[in-house]
Structure 1
Amino acid sequence: MDQRPSLTMPLVALLVGSSALALGPWLVRLSDVGPIAAGFWRLGLGVPMLALAALAVGQSLKTPPRPLLILIIIAAAFFAGDIAAWHVGIHLTKLGNATLFGNFGSFVFALYGLWLARKLPTMGQVAALVLAMAGTLLLLSGSLDLGPDSLRGDLLTLLAGLLYAGYLIGVDKARPKVEPLTLLFWASLAGAIFLWPMAMGAGEKIMPTDWTPVIALAFSSQLVGQGLLVYAIGRLPPLIVGLGLLTQPAISGAIGWLAYGEAFTLKDWTGALAIAAALVLVRLRPRRRRPT
């Protein structure tokens, strides 16, 4: 009998978290503060939310041991850089470009999972990566616009994707030694401290006139999105987490279709199904040979 723990609940948590994170770009654009300042409020307002959630479920907010705290602060620095570059970039390029390049970190994290396994990927894992990449390109090909006008935004969102991979790797290393909400509380606090001088230095408007978008951003992206993501990272292989995060373009497209009546074409459906198939494929366990 297979004694390995079920991956169903962590996978559901990952997909729900990815859905919440997919709302981020829309809420950033709705906010009336600068893009980096929106990131600061996302983390800053998320800190008390995470503290209340941690206390409610009995997770400690005690300062982690020094080596672990340093690791969390390094991960938070990557996260702050990711948020700053991503938020600025989405104002300088098409949303399709920003989504594609910003999700590059998910591919990097998936490849990190293969490297961590210290063995060649199986045919199923290779097929899953190819399917996910093809599905993402199909979903975003209609809105991509590569050219000199969007180059700065493209480079910023690509940088954001690489920095996000660094954050995910840091969380993956810290996660076995600390509870998810505790980890995210300290990472959010450190990230907010990094983002405040960045927003001030950029000369952005800091204080919102309308608090609704930034509160919604903190709740959806930091408490729900990152909270469920960090929980899943402790229970799923990096390859599955990386592929699961690639559902965000499909979720963003579905939100646009349901909320705004934006066309969801056959090509979009094909891309979304390809990503779903990649997740199913990567979860399949090889059959064991029966003893003869």
Structure 2
Amino acid sequence: MSITSSTTTSSASTLAFLALLGAGVAVGFSPNFARLSDLAPLASGFYRLAFAVPAIWLAVLLTGGRLEPLSRMAPRHRWRLLLAGLAFAADIAFWHLAIAQTTILEATLLSSTVPIIVSVASVFLFGERLKPLFVLGLAVALAGVTFLALQKTGAQVAPPNRLLGGIFALLAASFFAIYLLLIASVRQNSSTGTIMFYTTLISALAMAPFALAMSPTMLSGSLNGWLVLLGLAVISHAGGQGLMTFALAHLPTSFSSMMGLMQTAVAAVVAWMLFSEPLTLPMLASGAAILAGIWVCRKATAA
């Protein structure tokens, strides 16, 4: 490999890593946006997807990109996009239900099991090898997550149903892992905008009947309510998921799934500021361990 080629590859890898960090921050705001919404969980989830569709299309247009017609894709990629869209709809549905039943911190903690699911699946499905340094980083990050989970919530208002919320969060993590694995294979042949547009459109269509059937109303009662839904769609979905999809083209799937751990730290801090969910010194130490684990994993995949 030439020096120029090596430099280009390194720059792309660095840019992808920065995109992944940005994705973690943007998606970390999603549970707080969802908590601020005045609509039922599935209605909020639907608007997150529906409002993101035109936002993604506009972003592709403004950046000079183009959406690849489905007819030009290989049949196997079309099927993977369809399944990815359905998996993401299930992820969003269970994720929003989890936030409504337990604390934001607990929901994000349990959803951060995605790296375990993805890493193990990547070994069997894609033949990825987990380097010892990566395993060490993952262990440090998960140790931080575990220590954080052992802390009492300390919330002023007790969550409606922590057990049910935990189950929903784990289901969301499982479906998001499936989504990651599916789009990782398609990302090698299609652009970020193409994948985001089609999977989001499919997810919105899949979510619509469930949101209509299970939500008391589909109309927000205030301008602030609609702005919250726009933030959820544009910042957390179009921005966060778009950056993550871009990163998948340059980073191993197992490392990209670490975004969920950073999301936990961001969500916890924002929930502390907005909803007074406690953020103690042990919690801060746990967050530091999570970020340290992410950095170690980064070094392992760059080696």
- TM-score, structure 2 as length reference: 0.86
Q: 2:119 maps to which residue?
A: 110
How many matched pairs? Answer: 287
What is the alpha-carbon distance in structure 1 between the residues aligned to residue 128 and residue 21 of structure 2? 27
Counterpart amino acid of 2:150? S
SS in 1 for 2:138: helix
Q: Deviations over 1:45-65 (max 9, x none)?
A: 001110010111122224222
**Identity over aligned residues, as a percent?**
29
What is the alpha-carbon distance in structure 1 between the residues aligned to residue 34 and residue 151 of structure 2? 22
Q: 1:273 maps to which residue?
A: 288
Structure 2: segments with no counterpart, 5+ residues: none
Moved more, 121-130 or 177-186: 121-130
What does 1:253-268 align with in structure 2 at a 5 Å threshold? 253-257=268-272, 264-268=279-283
Q: 1:218 maps to which residue?
A: 233
What is the alpha-carbon distance in structure 2 between the residues aligned to residue 119 and residue 73 of structure 1? 24
Counterpart amino acid of 1:130? A
What is the alpha-carbon distance in structure 2 between the residues aligned to residue 67 and residue 204 of structure 1? 39
Structure with higher helix content: 2
Q: 1:24 aligns with which of 26, 30, 36?
A: 30
Q: 1:209 maps to which residue?
A: 221
Q: Deviations over 1:120-145 (max 9, x none)?
A: 53321221111110112233432459
Deviation at 1:8, TM superposition (A): 1.6
Matched, 1:160 2:172: yes
What does 1:62-141 align with in structure 2 at a 5 Å threshold? 62-64=68-70, 65=73, 66-115=75-124, 118=127, 121-141=130-150
Q: 1:5 maps to which residue?
A: 10
Counterpart amino acid of 1:16? G
Structure 1: segments with no counterpart, 5+ residues: none
Matched, 1:197 2:203: no
Q: Deviations over 1:21-45 (max 9, x none)?
A: 1111111121122111111111100
Matched, 1:182 2:194: yes
Q: 2:39 maps to which residue?
A: 33
Deviation at 1:171, TM superposition (A): 1.0
What is the alpha-carbon distance in structure 2 between the residues aligned to residue 244 and residue 287 of structure 1? 16
Q: 1:14 maps to which residue?
A: 20
- TM-score, structure 1 as length reference: 0.89
Q: 2:55 aligns with which of 44, 49, 73?
A: 49
Q: Indicate conservation of the 8 Å contact 2:105/2:267, yes or no.
A: no
What is the alpha-carbon distance in structure 1 between the residues aligned to residue 302 and residue 48 of structure 2? 44
What is the alpha-carbon distance in structure 2 between the residues aligned to residue 112 and residue 209 of structure 1? 43
Q: 1:233 maps to which residue?
A: 248
Q: Indicate conservation of the 8 Å contact 1:109/1:239, yes or no.
A: yes
Deviation at 1:261, TM superposition (A): 6.7
What is the alpha-carbon distance in structure 2 between the residues aligned to residue 285 and residue 165 of structure 1? 21
Deviation at 1:115, TM superposition (A): 4.0
Q: Indicate conservation of the 8 Å contact 2:104/2:271, yes or no.
A: no
* 1:109/1:204 CA distance change after superposition, 3 Å: farther
Q: Indicate conservation of the 8 Å contact 1:50/1:223, yes or no.
A: yes
What is the alpha-carbon distance in structure 2 between the residues aligned to residue 184 and residue 171 of structure 1? 9
User: How big is the alpha-carbon RMSD for the aligned residues of Structure 1 and Structure 2?
Assistant: 2.6
* 1:155/1:259 CA distance change after superposition, 3 Å: closer
* 1:285/1:102 CA distance change after superposition, 3 Å: closer
SS in 1 for 2:69: coil
Q: Indicate conservation of the 8 Å contact 2:51/2:230, yes or no.
A: yes
Counterpart amino acid of 1:206? M
Q: Indicate conservation of the 8 Å contact 2:32/2:267, yes or no.
A: no
Q: 1:246 aligns with which of 261, 268, 271?
A: 261
Q: Indicate conservation of the 8 Å contact 2:131/2:300, yes or no.
A: no
Counterpart amino acid of 1:14? L
Deviation at 1:218, TM superposition (A): 0.5
SS in 2 for 1:246: helix
What is the alpha-carbon distance in structure 2 between the residues aligned to residue 240 and residue 139 of structure 1? 21
What is the alpha-carbon distance in structure 2 between the residues aligned to residue 257 and residue 207 of structure 1? 28
What is the alpha-carbon distance in structure 2 between the residues aligned to residue 87 and residue 38 of structure 1? 8
What is the alpha-carbon distance in structure 1 between the residues aligned to residue 88 and residue 233 of structure 2? 14
What is the alpha-carbon distance in structure 1 between the residues aligned to residue 217 and residue 49 of structure 2? 17
